[in-house]
Structure 1
Amino acid sequence: MNLFAEIRATVLQAIDALVREGFLPDGLETSAVTVEPPRDAAHGDMATNAAMVLAKPAKMNPRAIADALAAKLTDDPRISVAEVAGPGFLNMRLDPSIWQGLVKSVLTNPDFGKSDLGAGQKMLVEYVSANPTGPLHVGHTRGAVFGDALASLLDYAGYDVTREYYINDGGAQVDVLARSVYLRYEEAHDLSVDWPEGSYPGDYLIEVGEALKDKVGDAYLGKGEQFWLDDVREFATNAMMDLIRSDLASLGIAMDEFYSEKSLYGTGKIEAAISELDAKGLIYRGTLEPPKGKMPEDWEPREQTLFKSTAHGDDVDRPVKKSDGAWTYFAPDIAYHYDKVQRGFDALIDVFGADHGGYVKRMKAAVSALSDGRVPLDIKLTQLVKLYKNGEPFKMSKRAGTFVTLRDVVDQVGPDVTRFHMLTRKNDAPLDFDFDKVTEQSKDNPVFYVQYAHARVNSVLRKAEGDFADAALASADLTKLSHEAEITVAKKLAEWPRLVEIAAKGHEPHRIAFYLYDLASDFHALWNRGNDDPALRFIQEGDIDTTSAKIALIRAVQLVIASGLGILGVKPAEEMR
């Protein structure tokens, strides 16, 4: 039940009626007509911009259109008042029975808030995709949480979602990993080693070196890397991916697919993708202009094989093959996304770190070219996370060697706090993560405030005497919910289905966290008013009917909070400790 969508449909029906009557001209475009909460709640329950949208194409005064619409809309028994404001905005107030009935809808419909917006479209969300050279760090944590919550949100909104991790195991960094593991392997044999610059000296490779010793004994000792590099590379990559899967599992994240970059090489997949672009006239031999700004001392023009990405919105054309014939880093990424298109996905989302900003236009250009514009690609960048503890920047992880790991964060505050707090800012805004603040029990801590609302409802249910199962509550006399503070909570519940669709359309799971905080605030405000006004207390001694109605309202709040937390991957708190 999306009440805002239902009232919008009523507005469109009123417009159609005015067209049939000859008041409005035929053929008006109404896709931009909206019905939403007014900016100021004092103005009403809902507002529509219909008159403002139609005025110019209809060549009419917007207030005249708004007056005519108001007369039509008040014929609907759900709309008690329709008032024109300003140059032609139309504010509406709904009959209280609508808000009371909405509480029943939440209690009787386990899918309240879910949407068919996606209509089963196949959506691939690729996220994390960290190099398999070590444990996930805090930057990966934000991308992992964001991507996973986005995938859940899209699933909730009716898309057929696949979660995918792209394993960057085809580049030189995996050889560096293999050589670093070999050094740990030598250490496992009590040999002294020197760590070259650029290697991975973190303690997390000690166990991998020991495991390699257990597997091959001393077979690789004293041998040149031509004898062991390929085997150790595979062994080390598998060990790192096991570590990464374990890290993700600690946050409740499970991927549907893991796609290996290495599978693109020697299989003809890169060649096929570039040939597809060539067939479209988008591959040519040429020389790029020198980079803007300070000229590198070693720069010289070289003829390369280029992708004409400017034909699909990029700023400059991009090399796909170097002058020596080797593929650039961009070529396998093109092939990987070509494979995504060939797998039949209707839309693609990539979640990258902030340092990949320069990759956005070229990757979108490639997908546009490969799919002939049919498959949209949205690239979401997650900004940096700054960690604090006791007011000071959080120190590096000894185990990782150079950075704070995902496990460091989860071990400090738990997966639920980690996930919720990572979504308290939009993905492209910097995020401060203060270990003390995210665990404090106050209104200023969003995760606590939302969890506290869910747990508080449980405390009421434990104290109340009677049958308060959802089916029984749905049969309560909800007309007893008449106080302004109670109606305010019901109105916030009504926004949930609309909010889900807005968040899904914009690929913005942080909106779910914001909404839950607002809903919890309205609930806590109602609770606190009960301290001063006994009539607003949820348990009314000796009045089971009124008690049932009030508990029906807060149980509806609890159900919506649980649904929202489910999207965010957070377990609702049954009680606060």
Structure 2
Amino acid sequence: MFRQFRSAAASALTDALADLGYPTDDLGIEDPPDGVDATLASSVAFRLAGEAGAPPPQVAAEVADAVDAEATEYLERVETSGPYVNFLANDAYLADTVAAAGDDEFGRLPPKDESVVVEHTSANPTGPIHVGRARNPIVGDAVANAIDYAGYDVDRHYYVNDAGRQMAVFTWAYETFDESDLPDVERDKPDYDLVRYYRKGNAFLEEGPEAAVETAEAEIQSIMQGLEAGDEDTYERVSEVVDAVLAGMRGTLARLPAEFDEFVKETRFMRDGSADDLVERLQDLDESVYEEDAWQLDLSAFGIDKKLVFLRSDGTTLYTTRDLAHHEWKFENYDRAVTVIGEDHKLAFDQLRHALELLDHDTDQLEQLFYSWVNLPGGEGMSTRAGTGIDLDDLLDEAIDRAREEVESRMDDRIRDDELAEADVDRIARQVGVGAVRYDIVSKQPAKAITFEWDRALDFEAQSAPYVQYVHARCCGIVDEARDEEPLAEGAIAGDAAVDPATLSTPEERDLVHVIARLPAVIEEAADDLEPHRVATYTREFAETFNAFYRECPVLTADDPATREARLALVVAARNAVANALDVLGIEAPESM
């Protein structure tokens, strides 16, 4: 309802400004100032004061008088508070919001005829995913979820780097060293098992005897050349390592969870001739030069001093070359291509974008979300190659353990004696622990570096996942109790009760309706701007608003049956809204805590 109301308010304001002879290019529509009881506000009077030759409050009053409230379905009236023009929704808005949110799909927007591919994570398959890179799958998954909720046809892709020097080193090391040469495996997963070979190989190349290193380098070069030539045996050798490590990494990602529709391998674009075709077209460009034993693209016309190397003197392509072919494939198959990637790749993506433009592609369909790193207190280094840092599996284990301690500390003796309690504690600990990690990371603006802190992430009383999850559990508890004790409430529980808005008369009830109504608009904005943290901010505001309602508005003990029915319907609406907001963030909504 909020999206419709906002659109109608904008239309009514535009008409009023036009009637008054004012420009309509900037309506200044925003959330009302603190303490103002309105659904929306406009700060347009600030902009118009100079032109009108009058103070903003006077201009606001003039504009408010010119707005035709009766022409807008959900608009009750227009008021002013100082320089602001305030739009207040009517009772039909309240009733229709509760009815719409009774649907458990509330928050999803109508389907759009537009396809989007979201590429995220794409960590090199060289070993376990570490904490520093945890932001990519968490933010990337939330971005894809928001776009999906916004009505787009979404595919989630993981781009697998299986063709570069790293994988050639890994394959050589796996085929060279014995188990006896390696340290004990840290965890029973293939990525932890095989990363020992990768680390051993890198150490040997840095510190081994010169003659042996030269022989190893020749073998590594042979693997790279074999991949470039499309040699099937070489591809199978590399794939044995890549697929095994990737299976382990997928297991870790599934714990978040972050799932993918397709794992697109880099070698695909070498094997099908796409990379070779791309190289020929790049070489034909006026900006293409052969310097320093390599073919390069001069991008100085775009303000980029560093040339883009796309072909080595030995005829091998580079990661960026294959990624250009990858993006051409995306453009052929999708209307939009979104990539979630670390801020250290900004230059590479600028180069890629301008190279695509030189190849006559419309790069407006290409969007990037750059993120900064996740740090732990103490600033541990993160390097798969050297084997330092904290793995994501370790972080998730610790989160679940800490959540279990917190849950057990809140259990009363009756629950402790329940034979089902242990399984329930395990479930809640996993939902809360993993949710805490995801929420703490996705709730921050991606461009800002963050330090993960346990006390903040697992705080049941503050702005955290458990704080929001508990609202959903509380809603479920109320509905379950009503189902057992309130046979008159079947319609409200089913989400199809017709609510008399007159029964929702308290400020807390109406505030809750208003925050529920905003969810579809918040999701739409998060999808359009690639900013999933907006949904996290919404859930915090939602939780605070619901808790105020819960304190002031008894549901099942309300004296009047109509009030009980209306408040129960409101609880069902709140449950659906918070569950789907959490779902966008990729966080489970526990039914009990």
Instruction: Answer whether TM exceeds 0.5 for this pair.
Output: yes
The whole-number CA distance in structure 2 between the counterparts of 1:398 and 1:160 is 35
| Paired residue secondary structure (1:333) | helix
Aligned in 2, Cα 1:463/1:573: closer, same or farther, shift over 3 Å?
A: same
Out of 233, 256, 268, the residue aligned to residue 273 of structure 2 is 268
Instruction: Give the deviation of 1:346 after TM superposition.
Output: 1.6
- The equivalent of 1:40 in structure 2 is 34
Answer whether contact 1:74 1:81 (CA < 8 A) is retained: yes
Q: 2:131 is matched by which residue type in structure 1?
A: V
Deviation at 1:18, TM superposition (A): 7.2
| Aligned residue type for 2:486 | G
Change (3 A) 1:396 1:83: closer
Tell me what 1:92 maps to: 87
- The equivalent of 1:247 in structure 2 is 252
2: CA distance between counterparts of 1:472 and 1:350?
38
For the pair 1:537 / 2:526, whether they are aligned, the reply is no
Assess, with a 3 A threshold, how the Cα gap between structure 1 residues 512 and 319 changes in structure 2: closer, same or farther.
same
Q: Distance in 1 between matches of 2:562 and 2:182?
A: 78
Q: Residue 350 of structure 1: SS of its match in structure 2? A: strand
| Residue type at the aligned position of 2:374 | V
Equivalent pair of 1:305/1:320 in contact (CA under 8 Å): yes
- Indicate whether 1:561 and 2:578 are aligned: yes
Contact 2:130–2:392 (CA<8 Å) still a contact in 1? yes
The AA in structure 2 aligned to 1:340 is K
Residues 544 and 473 of structure 1: is their aligned pair in 2 closer, same or farther, counting only changes over 3 Å? farther
SS at match of 1:270: helix
Quick check: 55-64 or 266-275, which moved more? 55-64
1:106 maps to 101
Point out where structure 1 has 5 or more consecutive residues left out of the alignment: 196-200, 210-222, 288-301, 531-535
CA distance in 1, matches of 2:536, 2:467: 11
Q: Which residue pairs with 2:170 in the alignment?
A: 177
Conserved 8 A contact 1:70-1:84: no
Residues 5 and 75, structure 2, Cα contact 8 Å, conserved in 1: no
After superposition, where does 1:184-333 map in structure 2 within 5 Å?
184=177, 186-187=178-179, 190=180, 192=181, 204-205=193-194, 230=234, 232-265=237-270, 267-277=272-282, 281-285=285-289, 302=292, 304-312=294-302, 314=304, 316-322=306-312, 326-333=316-323
Partner of 2:227: none
Q: Which residue of 1 aligns with 2:136?
A: 143
| Structure 1 counterpart of 2:88, one-letter code | R
* Secondary structure of 2:518's aligned partner: helix
Aligned-pair CA distance for 1:443: 1.8
1:553 Cα deviation after fit: 1.6
CA contact (8 A) 1:473 1:548 kept: no
CA deviation string 1:153-210 (max 9, x = no partner): 10110111111111111111112212332355x22xx5x5799xxxxx995228999x
Where 2:101 maps in the other structure, the secondary structure is helix
Alpha-carbon distance in 2 for matches of 1:84, 1:247: 54
Could you tell me whether the CA contact under 8 Å between 1:81 and 1:94 is conserved in 2? yes
CA contact (8 A) 2:294 2:311 kept: yes
1:509 and 2:505 matched: no
In structure 1, the partner of 2:486 is 466
Residues 75-114 of structure 1: per-residue CA shift (max 9 Å, x gap):
3474343234666x4222233453344222211x444322
CA distance, structure 2, for counterparts of residue 124 and residue 269 of structure 1? 19
- How far does residue 323 in structure 1 lie from its aligned partner after superposition? 5.4
Q: Write the distance in 1 (CA, Å) between the matches of 2:260 and 2:148.
A: 14
Give the alignment's Cα RMSD to 1 decimal.
3.8
Q: Which deviates further from its counterpart, 253-262 or 231-240?
A: 231-240
Q: Hey, what's the Cα distance between the residues in 1 that align with 2:182 and 2:4?
A: 67
Displacement of 1:304 after TM fit? 4.8
CA distance in 2: counterparts of 1:37 and 1:274, whole angstroms = 51
The equivalent of 2:404 in structure 1 is none
TM-score normalised by length of structure 1: 0.79
* Structure 2 counterpart of 1:425: 444
1:420/1:483 Cα in 2 relative to 1: closer, same or farther (>3 Å)? same
Per-residue deviation, 1:416:
2.7
Q: Where in structure 2 are the equivalents of 1:316-395 lying within 5 Å?
A: 316-322=306-312, 326-341=316-331, 343-373=332-362, 375-388=364-377
Do the aligned partners of 2:107 and 2:523 also contact (CA within 8 Å) in 1? Answer: yes
1:498 and 2:521 matched = yes
Deviations 1:291-334 (A, max 9, x none): xxxxxxxxxxx375332434456455423234565434432222
Which residue of structure 2 aligns with residue 81 of structure 1?
Answer: 77
- Is contact 1:285-1:303 (8 Å) kept? no
Provide the rounded CA distance (Å) in 2 between the counterparts of 1:59 and 1:90: 18
Identity of aligned residues (%): 28
The CA distance in 1 between the partners of 2:584 and 2:251, in whole Å, is: 21
Quote the Cα distance in structure 2 between the aligned partners of 1:495 and 1:205.
48
Tell me, yes or no, if the aligned pair for 2:38 and 2:86 is still in contact at 8 Å. Answer: yes
- Structure 2: distance between partners of 1:574 and 1:59: 58
